[in-house]
Amino acid sequence: MKQLTITIPLVKKDEAELTPDEANLLEKAKQATYRSYSPYSHFSVGAAALLDDGTIIEGANQENCAYPSGLCAERTAVFYANAQYPDRAITLLCVAARDTEGNFTPRPIPPCGGCRQVLSETEDRQHQPMRVMLYGTEGIYFVNTVKDLLPIHFDTTYL
């Protein structure tokens, strides 16, 4: 038996260290949390996707009393971007969340497993990396590719 260890490169920034484009995208993701429909979890998530032409697409989590029928903020934003701008690549995706008390979370919120898989395939479709920015009031994490969030990912090479 051989034990393997997977590490991911991660950059942590404070808001003061963000570029103007990053700060703008973060503000859009934070604003999107207020459009969340989350009457069951009371956990509001917003996402903002920056396309390669400068367009910004926003999404928010949408819950349903039949839980599997809801959709996460990341997938809401990515699916809309892919449907409306199929030839545009997402260069940066930002995710922010507010807790059940309505406060932005101290720790950055990572995408769920389902979102990671969708983001991974979107990155494959667009043939270029998608940077991901995860917001928390105590710091902002950056990864340079979705593959860093899902290092052992399922893709078409397994089909």
Q: How big is the chain by its Cα radius of gyration, in Å?
A: 15
Mean pLDDT of all residues in the chain? 96
For residues 19-24, give the mean pLDDT: 98
For the domain spanning 11-53+71-150, the CATH number is 3.40.140.10
Query: What is the pTM (predicted TM-score) of this model?
Result: 0.95
Specify the higher pLDDT residue, 153 or 29.
29
**Could you give the C-alpha distances from 53 to 36, 81, 92, 123, 156, in angstroms and in order?**
26, 12, 12, 16, 28
Would residue 63 show up in a list of annotated catalytic residues for this protein? no
Please report, rounded to a whole number, the percentage of residues in the chain having pLDDT higher than 70: 100
Answer yes or no: are the C-beta atoms of 36 and 74 closer than 8 Å.
no
Alpha-carbon span 96 to 102, nearest angstrom = 12
Answer yes or no: are the C-beta atoms of 69 and 76 closer than 8 Å.
no
The domains of the chain are located at 11-53+71-150
Q: Tens digits of per-residue pLDDT, 112-132?
A: 999 999 999 999 999 999 999
Candidate list 27, 74, 101, 121, residue with the active-site label: 74
Say what the pLDDT of residue 131 is: 98
Pairing of strands 90-98, 131-136: parallel
